[in-house]
């Protein structure tokens, strides 16, 4: 197979409204990769994977659309990166079978994500158990060399490396049909939620990327702080509001704000958490203003989103077919 020097791929869960943790922890890095590797970035919305937990067809459809709008609004450029539905390339499920045939049960039994879910009392489906095989097919079918993921997905990428090796060794051809992907961990720190824990849709402590106006002010107003009275000195490094503000301020503004915190005053007036929360709401609103407007346009023009998804899927599918054909030839299926 022709192997690219670098090809980036990642899957995005179709979990509807994305939050600031998703943006600063993942989306911003993905979008930066399209400038580093223009034309070689493949991002797909993992709707097959979502079926292991979601049984609500309208909700799944709408979540997929919302995720696509979110990425496009935030700057995904379809000329530089493909953005498509996983299920629009059904070849991945066929490659999954080929990989499953060379994968030992033991490898899957060691998956942390699977074990955690079972430990929490979830009755596992075969789909949940074989989730890492589908994920490996996702990665390997596009000959991806670089897979940006969060820490929780690292083991799954390592499993994809193992499956590529097992397949190439089981069916040796020259060149081997599958190439080895490398994970790339995002270096961003964990973004705290309203309660100071990691921001996560499963904890209900999120601020949505596109929240604005009163709703946004209400959210920032809910951020947990200590009870230091207005005008007393505050420690910025122990404050969730400051941690979030740091993400949307430049370095000079950040230092100035830290000064107000430590002094407990701003321009001779008392400064407290309430002011910081107000500032945070304003800053989030301006930081994402252009993206919010673009998202509104996409809501009004769903055909534009569908066009990007369809065109990207076509390109991705061509690539997927080539890999699948090579794998089928290697194992004697054609
Ligand atoms: P959630 O916890 O809301 O379900 P996901 O697990 O779907 O979020 O995460 C999607 C991506 O966003 C992952 O790459 C993950 O590392 C990143 N991410 C999610 N929450 C945070 C956070 N609070 N801080 C930094 N990155 C995050
Ligand atoms: N499992 C990933 C997650 O939960 C999503 C995903 C599916 C993925 N297939 C992938 C990520 C392939 C990277 C590569 O976030």
Domains and CATH numbers, the chain: 8-191+302-330 (3.40.50.620), 211-287 (1.10.240.10)
For residues 323 and 1, what is the distance between their CA atoms, to the nearest angstrom?
7
Q: Give CA separation, 296 vs 74, 202, 284, 299, in Å.
A: 12, 26, 17, 5
Which SS3 state, helix, strand or coil, does residue 265 take?
A: strand
What pLDDT is recorded for position 1? 55
If you measure from the C-alpha of residue 10 to the centroid of ligand 2, how many angstroms do you get, rounded to a whole number? 6
State the maximum Cα–Cα separation within the chain, in Å, rounded to a whole number. 79
What pLDDT is recorded for position 219? 97
Does the pLDDT value for residue 182 go beyond 90? yes
| Ligand 2 pocket mutation pick from 10, 48, 182, 186 by most atoms within 8 angstroms of CB | 10
Q: Which residues contact 78 (CB under 8 A, 6 or more apart)?
A: 72, 308, 311, 312
What is the tens place of the pLDDT at every residue in 98-119?
Answer: 999 999 999 999 999 999 999 9
Q: Which of 233, 237, 236 is nearest to 263 (CA)?
A: 233
What pLDDT is recorded for position 4? 55
Is-contact 320 167, C-beta < 8 A? no
If you measure from the C-alpha of residue 149 to the centroid of ligand 2, how many angstroms do you get, rounded to a whole number? 7
Q: What is the pTM of this model?
A: 0.95
Q: CB-side exposure of 25: number of CA atoms within 13 Å?
A: 20
Does the pLDDT value for residue 188 go beyond 80? no
Q: Is the CB of 190 under 6 A from ligand 1?
A: yes
Q: Which residues contact 169 (CB under 8 A, 6 or more apart)?
A: none
If you measure from the C-alpha of residue 40 to the centroid of ligand 1, how many angstroms do you get, rounded to a whole number? 24
Q: Which is the closest atom of ligand 2 to the Cα of 131?
A: 1
Q: Is the CB of 132 under 6 A from ligand 1?
A: no
Which SS3 state, helix, strand or coil, does residue 289 take?
A: helix
If you measure from the C-alpha of residue 26 to the centroid of ligand 1, how many angstroms do you get, rounded to a whole number? 7
Does the pLDDT value for residue 177 go beyond 90? yes
Q: Is the CB of 21 under 6 A from ligand 1?
A: yes
| Ligand 2 pocket mutation pick from 43, 45, 135 by most atoms within 8 angstroms of CB | 135
What is the tens place of the pLDDT at every residue in 247-303?
Answer: 999 999 999 999 999 999 999 999 999 999 999 999 999 999 999 999 999 999 999
For residues 241 and 90, what is the distance between their CA atoms, to the nearest angstrom?
44
pLDDT-wise least confident of 83-87, 183-187, 238-242: 183-187
Terminal C-alpha separation, the chain: 17
Q: Is the CB of 13 under 6 A from ligand 2?
A: yes
- Over the chain, what is the mean pLDDT? 96
Torsions phi, psi of 196, nearest 5? 90, -15
Q: Which is the closest atom of ligand 1 to the Cα of 189?
A: 25
DSSP character string of 26-75: IIHHHHHHHHHSTT-EEEEE-HHHHTTT---HHHHHHHHHHHHHHHHHTT
């Amino acid at each position: 197979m022709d192997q690219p020097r670098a090809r980036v791929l990642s899957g995005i869960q179709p979990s509807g409204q994305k939050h600031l943790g998703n943006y600063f922890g993942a989306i911003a890095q993905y979008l930066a990769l399209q400038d580093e590797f223009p034309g070689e970035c493949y991002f797909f919305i993992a709707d097959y994977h979502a079926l292991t937990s979601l049984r609500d067809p309208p909700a799944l459809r709408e979540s997929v659309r919302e995720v696509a709008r979110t990425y496009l609004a935030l700057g995904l450029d379809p000329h530089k990166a493909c953005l498509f539905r996983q299920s629009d390339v059904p070849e991945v499920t066929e490659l999954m079978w080929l990989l499953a045939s060379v994968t030992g049960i033991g490898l899957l039994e060691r998956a942390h994500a699977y074990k955690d879910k079972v430990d929490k009392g979830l009755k596992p489906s075969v789909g949940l158990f074989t989730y890492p095989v589908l994920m490996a097919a996702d990665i390997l079918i596009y000959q991806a060399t670089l897979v940006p993921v969060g820490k929780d997905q690292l083991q799954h990428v390592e499993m994809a490396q193992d499956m590529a090796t097992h397949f190439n060794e089981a069916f040796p051809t020259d060149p081997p049909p599958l190439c080895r992907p490398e994970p790339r961990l995002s270096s961003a720190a964990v973004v705290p939620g309203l309660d100071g824990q990691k921001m996560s849709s499963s904890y209900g402590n999120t601020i949505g990327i596109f929240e604005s106006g009163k709703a946004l002010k209400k959210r920032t107003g809910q951020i947990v702080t200590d009870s230091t009275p207005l005008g007393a000195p505050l420690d910025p490094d122990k404050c969730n509001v400051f941690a979030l503000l740091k993400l949307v301020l430049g370095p000079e503004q950040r230092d100035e704000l830290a000064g107000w915190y430590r002094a407990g005053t701003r321009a001779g007036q008392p400064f407290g958490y309430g002011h910081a929360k107000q500032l945070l709401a304003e800053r989030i609103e301006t930081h994402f203003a252009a993206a919010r407007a673009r998202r509104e346009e996409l809501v009004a023009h769903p055909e534009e989103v569908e066009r990007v998804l369809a065109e990207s899927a076509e390109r991705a599918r061509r690539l997927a077919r080539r890999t699948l054909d090579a794998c089928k030839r290697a194992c004697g299926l054609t």
